[in-house]
Structure 1
Amino acid sequence: MIPREMLRKIRRIQIRTSHQVDELLAGNWHSAFKGRGIEFEEVRPYQVGDDVRAIDWNVTARSDQPFVKLFREERELAVHLLVDLSRSQNLGTHKQTKRDLVAELGALLAMSAIKNNDKVGLTLFTDKIEKTVPARKGSRHVLRLIRELLYCEPIGTGTRLTQGIEYFHRTAARRSVAFLISDFQDEGYEKTLKVAARKHDIIPVVVQDRREAEMPNVGLVRLQDAETGQMVLLDTASRTARARYAELHRQQAAERDRLFSRLRLSPIHLETGGDVVEPLRRYFHQRETRR
């Protein structure tokens, strides 16, 4: 039984993201993603400038004037949200946790897809597959996805991106759009990601908290790795310690982004407490421009 407060939270996210999709993302999703191909729509009389290769000779033969075939892009997509639920996603030092940010993002993506008549599926993973929801349509389906994003209690604690990517690649029957949502605190997933990206349109979404990049001067603190439980003592009053902390994060982020560049993947970067809609809209516009 889902607690009443959780149900209210699910409903609030649905209402807020529905308005954001209507007001800010209308049309962007449709123009950013290609369908599976083109399909026949109708015929009309030939006009000067039409491609003669489009002439429908059967209809033309039955008429006293030439007709051409018109086609439209087949728009229905299969969209999958591949979401990392490892314990590091519980970090949040600015208004919200990374997991809350992921839930809002997932709701926005799912709502955008549904409003474009696309199917949406969900795979939640840690160092194992935690939950899968088959791709379907409809507002009730979006509510279920939001519920799982907020309410699923993972068994695993660590991050194995390979698990989520391999499962999706193995189970997706046709080419799909996949949003790979994680803080990417993992390694050794390049080969798996490369293989999956050959078949699918994979979009990495990097979620992070500002304290992962810089540590404030708050004296001596004890830090615990959420995924391994390892404890370390850090003197944040030391400029050298803070600089090393920031440099380590910078190196890790640079290596991750170089990997995306090698695979020709364009990531979306989001931060807790920050805007979600504008980075998505900007990304959709960039995709449309590249097309």
Structure 2
Amino acid sequence: MARVHRLELRAKRLVKETFAGDYHSSFKGQGLDFDEFREYQHGDEIRFIDWNVTARLGTPFIRKFREERELSAIIAVDLSASMNYGSVRLSKREMAAEIAALIAFSARDNGDKVGLLLFADEPLLYLPPAKGTKHILRCIREILATPSPAGAVNFPAATKVMMKAIRQKSLLFLLSDFIGADFTKSLATLSQRHDLVALRLFDPIEQDLPAVGKVTLIDPETGYERVVNTSNSNVRMGFSKLSRRYREGIEKTFKRYDIDHAALASNEDPFKVLHGLFQRRAKRKQS
């Protein structure tokens, strides 16, 4: 509970100071609602002129619209065993909870609903979109406390649940380390229906091994173990090369399906990374 409370306080402060505006400008409503009539001004679009009102009053009037703001933000979190790893500040699961708190409170302050899907080798929990701080705090608690089953993550099973449960186009934030899983078809399917944002979480050691002598590397999802000598520069270089090749493959998949994405290390501040992502997205939407 103390951990959840700290996340709540920090997220609320950051959202109030900056993040709510980032979220709003990045994820606009999906339609327009009529607001009022006003007199035509130079530069207004002619297509918005209301000819009935114009004829009745004898001067051009246009229809003014306001954005339909309410959306549903779905946060889908991979809770497979590899997400529990953390060699520095936080585990990837704990980082996911921090990110979810920022997104959820930003959505709340913009009038949007928040939903949650937790998945691993199978779907673990689905909370339909709802409003309110109590609901958000439950989402954060579930991310931190739901047990991780053994086995590799199953993206197709999670995708099937999301496609069935979330019929209306929504904002979908997918949080995962994308390790050891076939996610290409799932990303293609989800990006066709939803506004998908992929957030890849990683621990620094998963990209570059430190020179600390012989260590045992364990795959938490399969149990496979291997002893490597990290003092050997060829071993470290080979590991880094494989890691880089894997990351590049993930990046290509994101770009192929035009998916907004970011990579977040477990020892960095997620606020800074998301702030940059949302600003880039907002600029692209305006251009």
User: What band does the TM-score fall into relative to the shorter chain?
Assistant: over 0.9
1:252 to 239, 246, 251: 246
Change (3 A) 1:9 1:187: closer
Deviations, residues 192-224 of structure 1 (Å, cap 9, x unaligned) = 211221121111100000000111122222222
| Structure 1 residue ranges without an equivalent (≥5) | 1-6
Contact 2:79/2:118 (CA < 8 Å) preserved in 1? yes
Q: Which moved more, 1:204-213 or 1:38-47?
A: 38-47
Counting aligned pairs with the same residue, the percent is 37
Q: Give the C-alpha shift of residue 66 in structure 1.
A: 3.5
Deviations, residues 54-103 of structure 1 (Å, cap 9, x unaligned) = 22233334434442210112111111111000110111111211111111
Task: Report SS of the residue matched to 1:267.
Answer: strand
Is 2:197 the partner of 1:177? no
Contact 1:130/1:155 (CA < 8 Å) preserved in 2? no
Cα distance in structure 1, aligned partners of 2:173 and 2:216: 34
Is 2:120 the partner of 1:140? no
Instruction: Map 1:71-86 to 2 at 5 A.
Output: 71-86=65-80
- Per the alignment, residue 223 of structure 1 pairs with 217
Task: Report SS of the residue matched to 2:54.
Answer: helix
Task: Report SS of the residue matched to 1:256.
Answer: helix
Contact 1:270/1:279 (CA < 8 Å) preserved in 2? yes
1:105 to 99, 103, 125: 99
Cα distance in structure 2, aligned partners of 1:250 and 1:71: 48
Task: Report SS of the residue matched to 1:75.
Answer: coil
Contact 2:49/2:61 (CA < 8 Å) preserved in 1? yes
Contact 1:81/1:181 (CA < 8 Å) preserved in 2? yes
Q: Give the C-alpha shift of residue 156 in structure 1.
A: 4.4
- Per the alignment, residue 192 of structure 1 pairs with 186
- Per the alignment, residue 40 of structure 1 pairs with 34
Q: Give the C-alpha shift of residue 132 in structure 1.
A: 0.7
- Per the alignment, residue 4 of structure 1 pairs with none
Cα distance in structure 2, aligned partners of 1:52 and 1:207: 48
Contact 2:20/2:110 (CA < 8 Å) preserved in 1? no
Contact 1:161/1:186 (CA < 8 Å) preserved in 2? no
Cα distance in structure 2, aligned partners of 1:66 and 1:289: 33
Q: Give the C-alpha shift of residue 161 in structure 1.
A: 2.0
Amino acid at match of 1:130: L
Contact 1:56/1:67 (CA < 8 Å) preserved in 2? yes
TM-score (normalised: structure 2): 0.94
Cα distance in structure 2, aligned partners of 1:97 and 1:28: 26
Contact 1:128/1:156 (CA < 8 Å) preserved in 2? no
Cα distance in structure 2, aligned partners of 1:175 and 1:244: 42
Cα distance in structure 2, aligned partners of 1:54 and 1:265: 33
Cα distance in structure 2, aligned partners of 1:213 and 1:153: 26
Instruction: Map 1:24-63 to 2 at 5 A.
Output: 24-63=18-57
Is 2:236 the partner of 1:269? no
Q: Give the C-alpha shift of residue 172 in structure 1.
A: 1.1
Amino acid at match of 2:38: R
Cα distance in structure 2, aligned partners of 1:218 and 1:76: 51
